[in-house]
């Protein structure tokens, strides 16, 4: 869907992006992770041409973006930013309808789409006539997402979308986003400086520093097989908790007891659930169960860590 | 207070007309300033390089004193509503351009980027985001511009464009406080009302604000058209009167009384009146019969066949104390008696007004050719006298003639105070001892100062001599002031028209004018 080749942005004072290349497949989420000044936001803004590259090529759906009409290209790409960028003088409804109206959709279709999005993002319809300043930060963030999704773009660019929110709201909204079917259908490039956010949302993560991609890969690859000291040090602080984001229940199945039938009173989880989500759901010595290869596998908070230990040992051996 | 209300009631028609004109002038210039200023403010947000030049230029315009800006308009564009509106427009430009620019610049860059990122074209970003968000700031600029314009529009009367300034200028010229207040209070009220109204608009929140502001933008052209309202139904000929003429008993009121001649009049600075009739801004003016411009502009002086205007023989009015103190003064001044005829005075005025010679040079030439100057010896100056002169050419010249003559023939030092607003001001200064003498006209002394009962003035008016005798007797008794011998010319009020138009309409006398207007 998106191919970036040898992208470079040279400012008079410094080199912001230095020969960056990557591809993002359909329905994949790529996270550009890095500290401020690493070049991640500059890279993102070159994809919708808010910034023009000094050299390099970006293709979207096989066409070089330089050959597209600027505003047409942008209307096909959803754009979500920190603080949401909602128009303060537009109502919530008008904000969401912005791009469909630019595309001259039929007004009935626009209204249907707004209601669909409001329901999907659990925003009460009474908000439609409210102004952004009357909403909480988390609600505004959802409206920002609804606006980006409104015209059904296949690509979403997100620049620190949750940056303005407090940690509790952040993780709640993050989980909500991740579980939305419509978002899972999108090709997403997301910029963040939050490592947990990157691991939780990214299918792959590109860790950037000094304008270059230090390493690109799945969270698991970055965590377990760092290519250099920089990458290793970057994750060192949160190494343990990041593992819970890097692995799912499925990954643990070889190291846990299995049974032919589900034990009574145990809660059933989908096998792809991230361990971090499992941990946050578990309270006390509860047993939960998931299905793998027609077998039921049980797990308790006490058995997660030993199983994870075995998994990591095997990973490092192979 | 009582007198003030009487004045208002008496001049209600004129006041209503002036107020409408004033609103019209304010909003017409504001309208042009909006049409040009807002796009200019928007343009410079796209062209950062010219921001300094544009804001600098409109800023400099704002620093020009308003009366000077209007003064500049006369040589550039002449007089009338056009130049006045241009001046007001230039004045209103800075707050509008600057606030448009600042308002748009202050819209958060992140928001603009978000808008562009979603695929809005630069024009859409401007119309949907920047302009609406800048509107409160722009409105603050409009509010400032409106209030400034209400104030500056009072000066439009100086360019013969009408408005509440007519009464203010007239009141100053006539030293008539009620007249000044009749212009000042409505214009102040207008400023306060508009300021408060626009302030309320600015404070509105939400969607309502945009609706009301849109209504305001539509209202501006409507209010602008007020300028035309008083013009509708204007009679065949329009008149431009000097403030003094309009207010003085021997001026327009005399014309009303004697001929029952009602004219739709505009009050104009007496120095611009001739320009106004020359450029067809008005058809009739209240000129002075010795003015140099009668000749220069080819004007016809209408004969005052029913003697509405008293004779105005020019003579010097001197404090008796001064004459006693400086016995050499009277014989010296008497040398001037009978030296100036109507035509020679007109010629002197013409030289100053049209050939642009200085009054001092013209006075010197006159004195030399009349053989009044003695060979000059440097004298030590002892004592001084103060000469006053009103604010028109003839008085400047007369003051110079007196100054040069007295300094040539006596040891007195002469101080001139020229440009005084009118008879009332000069007379009061003379009584107070701030002036020792000034050139005055017999008819003015009679009707403005002495104000005898109508019966007395009507009988006197027919005879030039009788008026002179009456005023010199009365001034000596009542005020201890001496009228010296007449200078020789009679500078009376006269209605004037363009020669070509007067010829075409067959108007030679005031009665014929009255007859023409009645049919």
Distance, CA of B408 to CA of B379 (rounded, Å): 9
| Confidence (pLDDT) at A242 | 86
Among B103, B109, B119, B132, the strongest candidate for a mutation testing the A interface, having the largest count of A CBs within 10 A, is B119
> Which chain A residue's Cα is nearest to B208?
A89
| Closest residue by Cα to residue A41 from A159, A205, A201, A195 | A159
B79 φ, ψ (degrees, to nearest 5): -115, 175
Specify the 3-state DSSP secondary structure of B498.
Answer: strand
Alpha helices in B379-496 (DSSP H): 393-409, 423-432, 442-444, 454-461, 464-479
Longest dimension (CA), chain A: 67
> Which chain A residue's Cα is nearest to B209?
A89
Domain ranges of chain B: 1-226, 238-308+495-518, 313-490
Written as six digits, the tokens of B342 are 């109507």
Contact B244, B270 (CB under 8 A): yes
Residues of A at the B interface, defined by Cβ within 8 angstroms: 45, 48, 50, 71-76, 79, 81-85, 87-89, 98-99, 102, 131, 147-148, 157
B132 φ, ψ (degrees, to nearest 5): -60, -40
- What kind and span of H or E run contains B63? helix B51-63
Alpha helices in B232-291 (DSSP H): 243-247, 252-259, 273-278
Tens of pLDDT along chain B (519 residues)? 788 888 888 888 888 888 888 998 899 999 999 999 999 999 998 888 888 888 888 888 888 888 888 878 877 887 778 888 888 898 899 999 999 999 999 998 889 989 998 889 989 999 889 988 898 889 889 999 999 899 989 988 887 788 888 888 888 877 788 888 989 999 999 999 999 988 887 777 666 677 777 788 888 888 877 777 665 555 678 888 888 788 777 788 888 888 888 887 788 877 788 888 888 888 899 888 888 888 888 888 888 888 888 888 999 999 999 999 999 999 999 999 999 988 889 899 999 988 889 999 999 999 999 988 888 766 788 889 999 999 888 999 999 999 999 999 888 999 999 988 888 899 999 999 999 999 999 988 888 888 888 778 777 777 888 899 999 999 999 999 999 999 999 888 889 999 998 889 888 888 888 888 887
Contact B421, B391 (CB under 8 A): yes
* Contacts B128 to A, Cβ<8 Å: 87
* Contact between B113 and A50 using a beta-carbon 8 Å cutoff: yes
Expressed in angstroms, the distance from the first to the final Cα of chain A is: 32
* Contact between B117 and A50 using a beta-carbon 8 Å cutoff: yes
Strand order in the sheet with B413-420: B413-420, B384-390, B437-441, B314-319, B481-483
Sorted by sequence, the CB contacts under 8 Å of residue B474 that are 6+ apart come out as B450
B421: exposed, middle or buried (C-beta count within 10 Å: 0-12, 13-18, 19+)?
Answer: middle
Distance, CA of B257 to CA of B514 (rounded, Å): 12
Residue B323, sorted as left (phi over 0), alpha (psi -120 to 50) or beta, turns out to be: alpha
Strands B284-288 and B493-498: antiparallel
Task: State pTM to two decimals.
Answer: 0.72
Which of B110, B119, B121 has its CB closest to that of A99? B119
Distance, CA of B100 to CA of A113 (rounded, Å): 36
* Contact between B117 and A99 using a beta-carbon 8 Å cutoff: no
- Could you read off the pLDDT of A133-189 as tens digits, one per residue? 999 888 888 899 899 999 999 999 999 888 777 777 787 888 888 888 888 889 999
| Confidence (pLDDT) at B317 | 95
Q: What is the dihedral of CA B481, B486, B490, B491, to 10 degrees?
A: -40
| Confidence (pLDDT) at A42 | 93
Contact B54, B97 (CB under 8 A): yes
Distance, CA of B482 to CA of B472 (rounded, Å): 6
Written as six digits, the tokens of A280 are 């946050």
A141 to each of A145, A196, B206, how far by Cα in Å?
A: 6, 19, 21
To which residue do tokens 């803004």 refer?
A: A45
Alpha helices in B66-163 (DSSP H): 66-77, 81-105, 109-117, 122-124, 131-152
A51 φ, ψ (degrees, to nearest 5): -125, 135
Among A96, A102, A105, the strongest candidate for a mutation testing the B interface, having the largest count of B CBs within 10 A, is A102
Distance, CA of A99 to CA of A149 (rounded, Å): 9
Specify the 3-state DSSP secondary structure of B486.
Answer: coil
Write down the ipTM of this complex: 0.83
Examine the pLDDT at A85 and tell me if it is beyond 90. no
Distance, CA of B196 to CA of B203 (rounded, Å): 11
> Which chain A residue's Cα is nearest to B124?
A102
| Confidence (pLDDT) at B345 | 92
Per CATH, B1-226 and B313-490 having the same topology is answered: no
Q: Residue B311 has what DSSP assignment? A: P
Distance from CA of B57 to the nearest CA of A (A): 33
Q: Residue B28 has what DSSP assignment? A: H
| Closest residue by Cα to residue B88 from B148, B168, B166 | B148
* Contacts A152 to B, Cβ<8 Å: none
Q: What is the dihedral of CA A62, A65, A71, A77, to 10 degrees?
A: 50
Distance from CA of B210 to the nearest CA of A (A): 10
* Contact between B117 and A74 using a beta-carbon 8 Å cutoff: yes
* Contacts A50 to B, Cβ<8 Å: 113, 116-117
Strands A187-192 and A29-33: parallel
Distance, CA of A44 to CA of A42 (rounded, Å): 5
| Confidence (pLDDT) at B104 | 92
* Contacts A88 to B, Cβ<8 Å: 111, 133
| Confidence (pLDDT) at B440 | 94
Residue B280, sorted as left (phi over 0), alpha (psi -120 to 50) or beta, turns out to be: left
Number of A/B CB contacts below 8 angstroms equals 53
Examine the pLDDT at A203 and tell me if it is beyond 80. yes
* Contacts B210 to A, Cβ<8 Å: 89
Contact A268, A262 (CB under 8 A): yes
* Fold of the domain built from segment(s) B1-226: MetI-like fold (1.10.3720)
- Could you read off the pLDDT of A204-220 as tens digits, one per residue? 999 999 999 999 999 88
A307 to each of A268, A285, A292, how far by Cα in Å?
A: 19, 16, 16
Distance from CA of A14 to the nearest CA of B (A): 22
A15 φ, ψ (degrees, to nearest 5): -95, 110
Contact B154, B203 (CB under 8 A): no
Distance, CA of A260 to CA of A263 (rounded, Å): 9
Long-range contacts, stretch B394-398, CB < 8 angstroms, 24+ apart: B394/B288, B394/B290, B394/B291, B394/B314, B394/B345, B394/B348, B394/B349, B394/B439, B394/B491, B395/B438, B395/B439, B396/B352, B396/B359, B397/B348, B397/B349, B397/B352, B397/B359, B397/B362, B397/B363, B397/B366, B398/B314, B398/B439, B398/B487
Give the domains, in start order, of chain A with CATH numbers. 2-244 (3.40.50.300), 247-316 (no CATH)
Beta bridge partners of B386: B415
The whole-angstrom distance between residue B89's C-alpha and the CA centroid of its chain comes to 20
* Fold of the domain built from segment(s) B238-308+495-518: D-Maltodextrin-Binding Protein; domain 2 (3.40.190)
* Contacts B111 to A, Cβ<8 Å: 85, 87-88
Sorted by sequence, the CB contacts under 8 Å of residue A62 that are 6+ apart come out as none
> Which chain A residue's Cα is nearest to B133?
A89
Sorted by sequence, the CB contacts under 8 Å of residue A210 that are 6+ apart come out as A18, A38, A39
Longest dimension (CA), chain B: 95
* Contact between A79 and B118 using a beta-carbon 8 Å cutoff: yes
* Contact between B114 and A71 using a beta-carbon 8 Å cutoff: no
C-beta neighbour count of A44 within 10 angstroms: 22
Distance from CA of B118 to the nearest CA of A (A): 6
* Contacts B129 to A, Cβ<8 Å: 87
Distance from CA of B137 to the nearest CA of A (A): 14
> Which chain A residue's Cα is nearest to B113?
A50
* Contact between A50 and B129 using a beta-carbon 8 Å cutoff: no
Beta bridge partners of A168: none
Written as six digits, the tokens of A311 are 């998994």
Architecture of the domain delimited by B313-490:
Roll (3.10)
* Contacts A81 to B, Cβ<8 Å: 110, 113-114, 117
Specify the 3-state DSSP secondary structure of A26.
Answer: coil
| Confidence (pLDDT) at B147 | 92
* Contact between A50 and B124 using a beta-carbon 8 Å cutoff: no
Beta bridge partners of A77: A155
């Amino acid at each position: 869907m998106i191919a970036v080749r040898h992208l470079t942005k040279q400012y008079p004072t410094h080199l912001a992006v230095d020969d960056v290349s990557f591809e993002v497949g359909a329905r994949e989420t790529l996270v550009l992770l890095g500290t401020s000044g690493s070049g991640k936001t500059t890279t993102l803004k070159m994809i919708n041409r808010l910034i023009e590259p000094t050299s390099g090529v970006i293709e979207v759906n096989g066409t070089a973006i330089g050959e597209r009409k600027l505003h047409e290209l942008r209307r096909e790409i959803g754009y979500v930013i920190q603080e949401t960028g909602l128009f303060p003088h537009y109502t919530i409804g008008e904000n969401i309808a912005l791009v469909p109206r630019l595309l001259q959709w039929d007004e009935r279709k626009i209204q249907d789409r707004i209601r669909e999005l409001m329901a999907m993002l659990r925003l009460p319809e009474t908000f439609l006539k409210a102004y952004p300043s009357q909403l909480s930060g988390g609600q505004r963030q959802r409206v920002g997402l609804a606006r980006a999704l409104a015209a059904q773009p296949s690509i979403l660019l997100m620049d620190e979308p949750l940056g303005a929110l407090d940690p509790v709201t952040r993780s709640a909204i993050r989980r909500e986003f991740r579980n939305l079917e419509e978002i899972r259908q999108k090709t997403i490039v997301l910029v963040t400086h939050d490592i947990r956010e990157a691991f939780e949302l990214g299918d792959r993560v590109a860790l950037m520093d000094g304008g270059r991609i230090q390493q690109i890969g799945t969270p698991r690859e970055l965590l377990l097989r760092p290519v250099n000291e920089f990458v290793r040090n970057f994750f060192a602080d949160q190494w343990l908790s990041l593992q819970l984001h890097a692995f799912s229940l499925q990954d643990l199945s070889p190291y846990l007891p299995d049974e032919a039938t589900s034990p009574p009173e145990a809660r059933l989880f989908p096998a792809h659930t991230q361990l971090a989500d499992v941990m946050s759901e578990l309270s006390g010595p509860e047993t939960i169960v998931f299905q793998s290869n027609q077998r039921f596998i049980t797990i308790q908070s006490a058995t997660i860590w030993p199983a994870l230990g075995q998994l990591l040992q095997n990973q490092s051996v192979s | 207070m009582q007198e003030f209300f009487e004045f208002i009631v008496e001049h209600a028609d004129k006041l209503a007309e002036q107020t409408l004109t004033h609103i019209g002038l304010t909003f017409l210039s504001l309208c042009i300033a909006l049409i040009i200023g807002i796009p200019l403010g928007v343009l410079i947000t796209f062209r950062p390089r010219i921001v300094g030049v544009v804001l600098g230029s409109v800023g400099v315009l704002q620093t020009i004193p308003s009366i000077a800006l209007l003064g500049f308009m006369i040589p550039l564009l002449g007089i009338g509503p056009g130049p006045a509106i241009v001046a007001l427009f230039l004045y209103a430009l800075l707050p509008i351009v600057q606030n448009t620019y600042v308002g748009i610049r202050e819209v958060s860059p992140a928001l603009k980027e978000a808008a562009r990122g979603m695929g809005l074209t630069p024009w859409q970003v401007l119309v949907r985001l920047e302009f609406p968000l800048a509107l409160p700031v722009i409105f603050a600029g409009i509010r400032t511009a409106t209030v400034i314009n209400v104030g500056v529009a009072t000066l439009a009367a100086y360019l013969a464009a009408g408005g509440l300034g007519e009464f203010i200028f007239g009141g100053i010229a006539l030293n008539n406080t009620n007249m000044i207040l009749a212009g000042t209070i409505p214009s102040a009220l207008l400023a306060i009302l508009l300021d408060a109204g626009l302030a309320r608009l600015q404070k509105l929140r939400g969607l309502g604000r945009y609706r009301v502001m849109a209504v305001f933008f539509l209202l501006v052209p409507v209010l602008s058209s007020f300028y035309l309202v008083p013009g509708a139904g204007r009679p065949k000929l329009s008149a431009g009167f000097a403030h003094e003429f309009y207010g003085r008993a021997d001026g327009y009121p005399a014309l009303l009384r004697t001929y029952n001649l009602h004219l739709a009049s505009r009050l104009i600075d007496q120095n611009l009146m001739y320009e106004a009739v020359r450029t067809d801004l008005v058809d009739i003016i209240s000129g002075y019969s010795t003015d140099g411009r009668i000749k220069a502009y080819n004007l016809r002086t209408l004969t005052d066949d029913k003697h509405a205007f008293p004779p105005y023989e020019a003579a010097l009015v001197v404090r008796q104390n001064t004459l006693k103190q400086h016995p050499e003064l009277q014989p010296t001044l008497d040398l001037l008696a009978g030296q100036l005829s109507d035509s020679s005075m007109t010629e002197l005025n013409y030289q100053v007004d049209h050939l642009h010679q200085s009054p001092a040079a013209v006075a010197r030439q006159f004195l030399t050719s009349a053989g009044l100057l003695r060979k000059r010896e440097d004298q030590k100056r002892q004592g001084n006298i103060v000469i006053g002169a009103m604010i028109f050419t003839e008085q400047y010249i007369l003051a110079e003639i007196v100054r040069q003559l007295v300094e040539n023939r006596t040891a007195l030092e002469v101080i001139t105070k020229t440009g005084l607003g009118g008879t009332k001001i000069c007379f009061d200064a003379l009584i107070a001892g701030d002036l020792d003498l000034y050139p005055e006209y017999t008819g003015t002394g009679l009707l403005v100062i002495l104000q005898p009962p109508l019966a007395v003035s009507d009988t006197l008016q027919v005879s030039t001599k009788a008026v002179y005798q009456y005023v010199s007797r009365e001034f000596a008794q009542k005020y201890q002031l001496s009228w010296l011998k007449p200078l020789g010319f009679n500078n009376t009020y006269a209605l004037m028209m363009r020669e070509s138009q007067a010829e075409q309409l067959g108007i030679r006398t005031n009665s014929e004018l009255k007859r023409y207007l009645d049919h």
